[in-house]
Amino acid sequence: MTAKVPKRKLTWGVAAAALLCCCAIALNFGHAVREVSASGLPSPKGVKSAQDRIDYLSAYGWQVSEEPIATQELLIPEEMDASYDEYLALQAQQGFDLKKYAGKRVKRYTYEVLNYPTGEKGVQANLLIRKNTVVGGEVLSPQLDGFLHGLAMP
């Protein structure tokens, strides 16, 4: 036994099924994109407040002081000599291009790191920010035999 279905109803049924499939695929794709973004590095844009800065550092796994221990306005030099090479390379490894900001002013926010893996005290995290965008950063020990590395947890 076969049922007769008018072509018009069949066409509408196929169109509705195709629309549902497209919606399901789009929703699933959107979810997958969010997962990739969530697992990647934090966005350097939109870092406006103290809480935004703390959240940015937290995304790298750092627990830091509630307030910065220092805030300083810096001028990125127009001309950078060889003494800047290592620092520029460190920033470039993290995706930051400080050469883009030559001659520009940035704010450096320094926070005390409370959870350095070795347990060392006095470790600091710096964020360089220009117009609500993180343009550089590092974690360092200010001790005489200290260290300097990128924002990623060692």
pLDDT in tens, 31-40: 333 233 344 7
Residues 31 and 64 in one domain: no
In whole numbers, what is the pLDDT of the chain averaged over residues?
A: 82
Residues 107 and 143 in one domain: yes
Residues 30 and 54 in one domain: no
Token reading at 1:
């036994």
Burial class of residue 127, CB neighbours in 10 A (0-12, 13-18, 19+): buried
Split into its structural domains, the chain has a count of 2
Do 154 and 113 touch, CB atoms closer than 8 A?
Answer: no
pLDDT at position 126 is 98
Residues 65 and 141 in one domain: yes
Residues 88 and 145 in one domain: yes
| CB proximity list for 5: less than 8 A, separation 6 or greater | 13
Return d(Cα 44, Cα 72) in angstroms, integer. Answer: 19
Residues 30 and 55 in one domain: no
Task: Tell which phi-psi region holds residue 91, choosing left (phi > 0), alpha (psi between -120 and 50) or beta.
Answer: alpha
Return d(Cα 133, Cα 138) in angstroms, integer. Answer: 15
135 pLDDT above the threshold of 60: yes
Domain assignment present for 111: yes
* Rounded mean pLDDT, 33-58: 77
59-112 pLDDT, tens digit each: 999 999 999 999 999 999 998 889 899 999 999 999 999 999 999 999 999 999
Residues 145 and 93 in one domain: yes
Range of the domain at 32: 1-40
Return d(Cα 39, Cα 54) in angstroms, integer. Answer: 18
What is the 3-state composition of the chain as percent helix, strand, coil, each rounded to the nearest 5? 40, 20, 40
Residues 145 and 79 in one domain: yes
Domain assignment present for 45: no
**How many angstroms separate the Cα of 1 from the Cα of each of 6, 7, 8, 10, 77?**
16, 18, 21, 18, 85
